[in-house]
Structure 1
């Protein structure tokens, strides 16, 4: 089938490349000429493992192309996917749908025949209704069907998630659109991925509900971690003990500095606003968002306590800046609030991240970016592990301890056992650990 993808951000580029790899002919459209030129030259605008090779192979096979000409890009398309940004709107926290609606209008004006318009962007309930209204108003002469097809891609594992999904959700009541969507996802039939057809509004809500539930699990175990420190329990054991209950499950029960990224903060806030607008507040999610915001800054205070309560003039080395491993995404990363709290307390900060330093540099201009973990640790009074990149899982702790002014490790991801840190000469502070409660 011929597919057009509007937007070459994270969702659009990954989805477009994967659809092409399924054998479809895909044209990705973006207004940013420099971005399109870079992609054509093999330079990806985001870091996602395997994406550059996937794009290159499908471009070479002539199944994947890129253009800035939307009118040309939508010609003859069986389905046109909208995968543009929906950031939180300044002032009220609602999802900003400006780009979605603008894309819908431009698509309608450029269409040369019947089309299925698929919203891949994460959007609030009712967005598909408005997309359809905009298109019918712009082109009452054409037959169009607006479909919701939310994405469930994890940054750092997006290609695998797309090709081996837990489920595919499609929101439409239109028979022709249903047939088109079945054909598009037919290559996943052998993998037996559930293809769930619902009403359009239901599909829109599924995405928000899923992210809010996962954010709730993260926030729950983080609060249990705080209780563990207070009572002298071990959060990793608590998480394992409850996670083995298959009604609960072990995923998203890893205590840490709070969630971040492009999805959970934005989507929980949008769901909260939707509930308020419909006079059906979601109090649990409201509490989750509030607790998560305060937790990030609290991690900065945790580091200050590890320094004896005074960070002024101390050198803090931070390992990991992105909100999670295997991405260069700094959106709502816990490191931002942690660094701000430490800078406010007078600390000098250096940092290392395998992929995120370029993006982080403009967000934290006073932080000195280092060439590797050992360079960051040299002369430091405390080492703070913020993001659990694989490269940080097997550090030479003895070497690092010897480079530091004071061998103090604040492990916000609980990567290192207390015995291993102690053997290397470190004073260790963890999240939700017995050692943390006794030291703090």
Structure 2
């Protein structure tokens, strides 16, 4: 099929590349000329395992191309995926200006039947707005051209996006047109060979499905973080609690790992947007408001532990202290720092006068955009430990799971680890001579000098 992907951000570039990998002719469009020229040279603007190799191969074989000319791309493409950004406004609502701008260009340039697919995460009712904009542009031209609008939300996890797209848990298609539904089935059929997990529903339900899914996962995370905080106070081990409740098939084990809160481009934005959508429909979504509040507070839990331990609760005592940070991205296997807990944690430490040294396998470049030279960076995870008062683990990269603990002990001023991701077994770390403060596992059974 002839496909146009508008927007070469995370969603658009992965989707376009995977469609090309399955044999389609794909044109990826972006207004950023430098990004487009870079992609033609094999320069990938995001870090996603396996993506660069796929882009280079499909570009070389002619199935994948890049351009800034949206009008020309639309004219030769049957299916046009809108994958531009929908940044949150100050009130939490999704900003649809880029989505609707794309719809206008398509309406001005289409010459035959087109399918417009909302791939960006958009509020319920967006397809109606897109349809209205296209009709308006066609009326201006005096043309009556058939088109259809589809909702096709993405469910890719950063760090595993290629597998998620090529072997999806499910593909949701929102359409009111049987013929269009069959075309979309054909497009996704290469990814359904093992198990058919394509679900067709009405458009508004499809739009709601993405928000509901992310809101549910965010809720599980915030719930488990509060259980962990309670475990800390009551001498229980949240790891054991997770095993106990996760064995219930109604609950499951996924998204029950406590930590320092969720981040990234999806959960924070989508929770806010769904709360705002509820308000616009005269409904108070109290549960999601609490989920959001809990998450923001959770990002301060690690800093609070550092304050209590290194300064007997006094913020003044952090002046002159050096904290080594392992992990900057909001999750492993990505360089994304949008809404990352590390940003809140480091900002708070700097406010309290501490010095921060940071390591991350992929996100240092992004961190420099945020913190500049206010913190120290290193590509060596051990180098930043030399002379530091403590190590704080913020992101659960594999590189941090089985480190050289004896080396860590010799480099730190004090064998003190604040673990925001519960990477280690407390009893083992204590036997190795460390003071260890994880999340929800630091009750009476794992007491430390702090």
What TM-score results when the alignment is normalised by the length of structure 2?
Answer: 0.96
Q: Does 1:53 align with 2:53?
A: yes
Measured in 1, the distance between the counterparts of 2:116 and 2:279 equals 29
Local SS of the residue matching 1:145: strand
- Offset at residue 171 of structure 1 (A): 0.5
Which residue number corresponds to residue 211 of structure 2?
208
Partner in structure 1 of residue 405 of structure 2: 397
How far apart, CA to CA, are the structure 2 residues paired with 1:326 and 1:97?
29
Alignment of 1:31-430 (within 5 A): 31-89=31-89, 91-140=90-139, 141-309=144-312, 310-365=317-372, 366-430=374-438
* Partner Cα separation in structure 2 for residue 176 and residue 138 of structure 1: 24
Could you tell me whether the CA contact under 8 Å between 1:164 and 1:193 is conserved in 2?
A: no
- Distance, in Å, in 2 between the alignment partners of 1:283 and 1:86 is 24
Distance 1:189 1:413 in 2: 35
Please identify, of 301-310 and 213-222, the stretch whose mean Cα deviation from structure 2 is larger: 301-310
CA distance in 1, matches of 2:205, 2:306: 43
Measured after TM superposition, the shift of residue 423 of structure 1 is 3.5
**Residues 118 and 148, structure 1, Cα contact 8 Å, conserved in 2:** yes
Native 8 Å contact 1:147 1:172 kept in 2:
yes
How far the C-alpha of 1:435 sits from its partner, in A, is: 4.8
Contact 1:78 1:115 in 2 (8 A): yes
CA contact (8 A) 2:48 2:158 kept: yes
Unaligned 5+ residue runs, structure 2? Answer: none
Partner SS state of residue 409, structure 1: strand
2:447 paired with 1:438: yes
| CA shift for structure 1 position 23 | 1.0
Shift of 1:153: 0.4
Partners of 1:162 and 1:336 lie apart in 2 by: 29
Using the TM superposition, give the Cα deviation of residue 371 of structure 1 relative to its aligned residue in structure 2, in angstroms.
Answer: 2.5
Contact 1:398/1:425 (CA < 8 Å) preserved in 2? no
Residue 424 of structure 1: how far off its partner (Å): 3.1
Q: Does the residue aligned with 1:305 lie in a helix, a strand or coil?
A: helix
Moved runs in structure 1, 4+ residues, more than 3 A?
434-440
* Distance in structure 1 (CA, Å) of the matches to 2:32 and 2:407: 46
Q: Distance in 1 between matches of 2:397 and 2:337?
A: 14
Q: Distance in 1 between matches of 2:379 and 2:408?
A: 14
What residue ranges of structure 1 are gaps of 5+ in the alignment? none
1:278-319, CA deviations, whole angstroms, 9 ceiling, x for partnerless residues? 012221111000110111123211222231333121000000
Q: Number of residue pairs matched?
A: 439
Give, in angstroms, the shift of residue 239 of structure 1. Answer: 0.7
Alpha-carbon distance in structure 2 between the residues aligned to 1:150 and 1:3: 17
Deviation digits for residues 91-130 of structure 1 (CA, Å, limit 9, x no counterpart): 2110111110101111111212110000000000001100
Secondary structure of the structure 2 residue equivalent to 1:434: coil
Two-structure CA RMSD over aligned residues (Å): 1.2
Distance verdict in 2 for CA 1:435–1:373, change over 3 Å: farther
Contact 2:328 2:360 in 1 (8 A): yes
Cα-to-partner distance string for 1:197-256 (whole Å, 9 max, x where unaligned)? 111111000000000000000000000001100110000110111011110010000010
Given the alignment of the two structures, is residue 4 of structure 1 paired with residue 4 of structure 2, yes or no?
A: yes
Larger deviation: 359-368 or 126-135? 359-368
Does the CA-based 8 Å contact 1:136-1:144 persist in structure 2? Answer: no
**Distance (whole Å) between structure 2 residues aligned to residue 184 and residue 192 of structure 1:** 15
Conserved 8 A contact 2:361-2:379: no
Q: Which moved more, 1:274-283 or 1:203-212?
A: 274-283
